Amino acid sequence: MSTIIIICAAALVCTAVYTAWKNQKKKSKAEILSPDNAKDTAEFSKAFFERAQTGENAQQFLQLANQSDCALIQGMLQSAEIPSYTDFTHINKFYGPLTEASSSGLSIKLQILINDYDDALAVVNDYIKTKGSSAGITVYPKQ
């Protein structure tokens, strides 16, 4: 009789732990996919355009062969409060492996404001050092 009670108690505890884990997983996924994250990115690009409209000059800073590098670098720039803007991010996704193998006309173009060039270059150099390779990343000189 006591064995049955112990087994039932263990099953109840396992069910409670599993339910709590499942709810936490749903909550984490909801936070990642929340529109607030998209809003932050949109606000960040908005800062780029607002500064450009006040007269700051922009330039093409990077040409990237894949979205992974682009997302990581843009996140690092955002953390350093360096606004940026990208072109051709989604077109690159359609062609996938064709653009990952080499830089092409379909590469992602990342623009920054010239006043932020030195800080942005330091961020990108840290990324390349961490990654261990600059393959697929072309850095344009300061204008």
Domains, the chain, with CATH or none? 56-139 (3.30.70.1530)
Quickly tell me which residue has 């990342």 as its tokens. 110
R_g of the chain, CA atoms, integer Å: 23
- CA–CA gap between residue 124 and residue 118 (Å, rounded): 10
In the predicted structure, residue 16 carries a pLDDT above the cut 80? no
Contacts of 69 (CB under 8 A, 6+ apart): 127, 131, 136, 137
pTM: 0.64
Torsion sign over Cα 63, 67, 72, 78: positive
37-86 pLDDT per residue, tens: 445 666 777 888 888 889 999 999 998 888 888 888 988 998 899 999 88
Mean pLDDT over each residue of the chain, to the nearest integer: 77
